[in-house]
Each structure stands twice: as structure tokens, then as C-alpha cells.
Amino acid sequence: MTLRLFNTLTGQIEPLVPADGEVLRMYACGPTVYDYGHIGNFRTFLQIDVLRRFLHLTGVPVRHVMNITDVDDKIIRNAAQAAVPISQYTAQYEQAFFEDLEALRIERPEVLPHATDHIPRMVALVEKLAAAGAAYRTEDGSWYFRLSAFPEYGKLSKKDLTGIADGARVDVDEYEKDSARDFALWKAAKQGETSWDTAIGRGRPGWHLECSAMSMECLGESFDLHAGGEDLMFPHHENEIAQSETATHKPFVRHWMHVRFLLVEGRKMSKSEGNFFTIRDLLLKGYKASAIRLALISVPYRHQLNFTFQGLTEATGAIDRLRTFRRRLVDTFFPPGENAQMQEAARNARAEYMAALANDLNTAEARAPIFDLVRAANSAIDQGQFLAADSEAILAVLKDFDAVFDVLEDRDAGPTERALAWAEQVGRFDDVAPELLARQSLTDEAIAALVAERTQAKRQRDFARADQIRNQLAQRGVIIEDSKDGVRWKRK
């Protein structure tokens, strides 16, 4: 069975097969490690995990590269604010990213290159573009890509580029849709910023250059698939194509996959709207990692996903049903033999499941026959018409289901415990499910720190925060007493 996947470049659903007939070489734009990843980021990484797992299930070996962007505008700004080197700043968020991947059971890509480890390759690419007349240096020592050197610019996002002023430049990594301009390949060093001393001058790479250099280094000048969220189509991927194809004169990537964005309760997710969630936020609210995984993959990648708490609750219920059913199969003794109808139902369910995934990774349609099969099998068991070979056949279907969905094994305690340990470490007790809070006993130092924070909040007349801390401590069995000699606390 061959996966047919929508290709943004051609606008068609096309078979996705390795060009070399052996290994599918794919690159996914990875995280910029300047903060904790949010559920939108992880929706994209989860859908790429679905793709990777389905390729494996159909017997296609994969070489999957995902970069870690550990230098960019935001990282430099935030590290400077925190007064730490960028490597120290990014290390904490990279670790958090891997913890979240593990919580969501996202398989690790084969190669995880860091931008800062591949500077020489990026410099070599700029030199090659300069030699071809497609890159130029500005007075301050930055390097730009000359859009007019690549007449096919816009072929991925189908942008109309008429009216673009030749030589108009943009030096930020992410920019608005209407401003296709010569873009920065290399940014000259500014006072106090992290930079590298190289043959093209002192500076640092632009984000687009990073991905071109690392993908071609790890996968060759032409490879099978490039994936990312829909926001990356323009300018990021368009710029990657321009740089790479101008340098190599070869098609950069054959197949482009873009995952549509996630909304929260119908609205764009944003910190200021208060509808912005990380994976650890949801774990601390008491949702299980498996439910987050199922909720984020159950809507096919080309559809907008409207994330809701009701959706998470439904995913929790669906997983419970599947797990209970599987336990029933494993724990019950069924007489030898087979029920022809059950055998056929199992065969059909598997065929429908595989066909749905092969059809542009339609996860919603793939789920449905599995749940139907569970219903049919439960009623056959209730009626005593279920035999040992039926159990085997259905367990085999569930195994294939779980090869992609991976929610049947109960491994939910670990991620929740780790999220709680993290909350303790960073002092993040807001909005933690009471039953989780009650399980964590606070150390004397942690209590003293919270009491001090409350005193400080009161001093600043932030009474809401002060009350919140008092309530959180109370939930965790700690009573605060204000007296004229100061604040005392005791355990209940």
C-alpha cells in the first residue's frame, strides 16, 4: 500500500515514495527553542509523527531530519534580557521540548541537527550564492539573497510577485505576506550579540539559510519530502527553495507537506487572549498525555483543528473504551475456533483503516472503523459468539491501529509526574488540578518561597495574587497565619 499525500508544490494528491527506491528522506522544520512549545506546534509535530509511523507501517524506511533552531532574533533578544549566553538560554527549552515529545510519544527523528553546529555549511552556501551573483553584501556586512536571481520564486505558495521592487530588502526572519523582498542570508554582528567570525564576515545566519544548509547536508541536494506548519510556506519554505535551487540547479524537494493551524475554542491562540496552552499546562490541569495526543491527531492535517476541552474529554473517553476492550480480549478465555463474521469484520476494519490513512493521512476516517469493530466485537462477546481466533485477529488490528495512534498502552503516569516535578521546580502552581496538587507534598523551602512571594504581592497591593497563593497552599495542606510578628505557616 502506498501513501498518497497532498503536495503543496503541485496542488495534487500524489504517491509519496522514496526517489532512490529505498529510504524516504524527509526534513521537518523543528522548534525554535526560545520558549515552551504550545499545542499548535505539537499538532504539527504530531501529524508528522503520524506520517512517519504510517510509512513504517507500510514498510517504507525513513530518514527523518528535524532541526533545532538555537539561534534567531527571538533567542538573542530573550537571552540578552535574561543576561545569559544563548546556549544556556536554549538548553532549558530544548530539554523541555524533548520531554514534551516523549510525553506525546512522538518518535525521535533519526537526525536532530543544531543550527549553531552547522555554521560552516551555511557560510559555504552564501559563498556559492555570491559566486553565482545571487547574493550580495550590504554596507553593514550583512548578506542578502537577490530575489530577481530566482524567477521561479513564489512557485510553492503561488504568490503573485509582480510589482516587487528589485533590491527592496527585509532583514527579519518572519515577515508579512505582502512583502516578498530580498531576504537576509547572513546578519552582520551587532554590538553584544552572539556572532561567528567567518570567511563572509562576522555575523550570524538567517533562519531560512539554516534550514537549506542543514537539510541538504543531512539528506543531499534533492530529497523526498519537506514538512512544517502552514505558516512556514511563505516566506520560509519559499526562501529555502530559492536559496537551494539557485545554489545547486537541482530540484530541492519533490513533495511539500503543510499542516494547518490549530484554533482554540474557535479563536486564534494567543497569550493575550488567555487561550494559549503548552503541553505541561494541559497535563497540570489533569488531562492525560494520551488524550492530548489523540485529540491533536484525530483531525486530519489538512483541516483546521478546533481544540476544545470537550474534545480532550472525549478523547479521554475514547481511549478508556479502547483500553477496556483490549483488556477484555486479553483477560477473557474464549473457546477455540473462529466466527466467520467476526473474521470478516476484522479484515474490513483493517482495510478501511489502512485505506483512510493511505488517502492523505485521513486520521478521522481511519479511527471510525476501529471503534465500529470494538462495538461489534463487544456485542459478539456478550452473546457468546466470539472465539479465540477472533480475539487474535482483532488484537492484530489493534496493533496496527496503535502503530500509528499509540494510545492503547497506559503510559500516562510518567508525563504527569514529570510535569508536576517541573511545576515544583519553577514554582508554577496556578491552575493545577486539585487532585494533582494534593499528591505533591511541598518542601519547607518551597513553602517559604511561596509565603515570601505572597508577602511581596501584598506589599505591591496585588491582593488577587496573594489570595491565590494562600488558596493554593491551603489546597496543599498548608495554613498561613498573619500576625503582628509577621507571617507564620504550619501544615494541617
Closer CB to ligand AMP, 242 or 259, in the complex: 259
The site partner of 354 among ligand AMP, Zn ion, none (C-beta below 5 to 8 Å per kind) is none
Binding ligand AMP (rule: CB under 6 A), the pick from 3, 7, 24, 31 is 31
CA-to-CA dists, residue 422 to 38, 39, 98, 179, angstroms: 16, 18, 14, 41
- Name which of residues 38 to 77 contact ligand AMP (CB under 6 A): 40-41, 43-44
Give the whole-angstrom CA distance, residue 478 versus residue 489: 7
Least gap, CB of 50 to ligand AMP (angstroms): 14
Residue 50 CB coordination number (10 Å): 22
| Nearest residue to the partner ligand AMP, using Cβ | 229
Cell of 352: 478501511
Binding ligand AMP (rule: CB under 6 A), the pick from 113, 228, 311, 369 is 228
Residue found under cell 496496527? 400
The site partner of 40 among ligand AMP, Zn ion, none (C-beta below 5 to 8 Å per kind) is ligand AMP
The site partner of 211 among ligand AMP, Zn ion, none (C-beta below 5 to 8 Å per kind) is Zn ion
User: Which residue type, as a one-letter code, is found at position 49?
Assistant: D
Give the whole-angstrom CA distance, residue 344 versus residue 196: 64
262 binds ligand AMP per the rule CB under 6 A: yes
Name residues whose C-beta falls within 8 Å of residue 249's C-beta, 6 or more positions apart in sequence. Answer: none
Least gap, CB of 189 to ligand AMP (angstroms): 23
The site partner of 262 among Zn ion, ligand AMP, none (C-beta below 5 to 8 Å per kind) is ligand AMP
Among residues 323, 415, 348, 358, which one has the least CA distance to residue 50?
358
Among residues 418, 411, 420, which one has the least CA distance to residue 284?
420
Closer CB to ligand AMP, 98 or 261, in the complex: 261
269 binds ligand AMP per the rule CB under 6 A: yes
Least gap, CB of 32 to Zn ion (angstroms): 10
Strands 182-188 and 253-259 come out as unpaired
Binding Zn ion (rule: CB under 5 A), the pick from 211, 315, 393, 450 is 211
Cell of 114: 543544531
Give the whole-angstrom CA distance, residue 368 versus residue 365: 5
48 binds Zn ion per the rule CB under 5 A: no
Least gap, CB of 259 to ligand AMP (angstroms): 6
The site partner of 235 among ligand AMP, Zn ion, none (C-beta below 5 to 8 Å per kind) is none
The site partner of 229 among Zn ion, ligand AMP, none (C-beta below 5 to 8 Å per kind) is ligand AMP
- Name which of residues 122 to 151 contact ligand AMP (CB under 6 A): none
Closer CB to Zn ion, 173 or 281, in the complex: 173
Closer CB to Zn ion, 45 or 307, in the complex: 45
Least gap, CB of 122 to ligand AMP (angstroms): 17
- The strand ranges marked E within 219-365 are 223-229, 253-259, 262-264, 267-268, 305-307
Among residues 189, 193, 127, 181, which one has the least CA distance to residue 154?
181
Reduced to 3 states (helix: H, G, I; strand: E, B; else coil), residue 228 is strand
Give the whole-angstrom CA distance, residue 411 versus residue 138: 54
Residues linked to residue 196 through DSSP beta bridges, in sequence order: 203
Instruction: Please tell me the number of Cα atoms within 13 Å of 130 on its side-chain side.
Output: 17
Q: Choose one: 87-95, 96-104, 210-218, 290-298; the region binding Zn ion (CB under 5 A).
A: 210-218
CA-to-CA dists, residue 249 to 150, 222, 241, 304, angstroms: 11, 10, 11, 35
Binding ligand AMP (rule: CB under 6 A), the pick from 5, 16, 29, 442 is 29
- Name which of residues 281 to 310 contact Zn ion (CB under 5 A): none
261 binds ligand AMP per the rule CB under 6 A: yes
Backbone φ, ψ for residue 85 (5° rounding): -65, 150
29 binds Zn ion per the rule CB under 5 A: yes
**Cβ–Cβ < 8 Å for 147, 164:** yes
Least gap, CB of 416 to ligand AMP (angstroms): 24
Q: Choose one: 26-34, 41-49, 120-128, 477-485; the region binding Zn ion (CB under 5 A).
A: 26-34
299 binds ligand AMP per the rule CB under 6 A: no
Give the whole-angstrom CA distance, residue 22 versus residue 370: 31
Residue 100 CB coordination number (10 Å): 27
Q: Choose one: 35-43, 238-246, 335-343, 372-380; the region binding ligand AMP (CB under 6 A).
A: 35-43
Q: Choose one: 224-232, 335-343, 417-425, 465-473; the region binding ligand AMP (CB under 6 A).
A: 224-232
CA-to-CA dists, residue 44 to 14, 277, 299, angstroms: 20, 15, 12
What residues line the site for Zn ion (CB under 5 A)? Answer: 29, 211
What residues line the site for ligand AMP (CB under 6 A)? Answer: 29, 31-32, 40-41, 43-44, 228-229, 231-232, 259, 261-262, 269
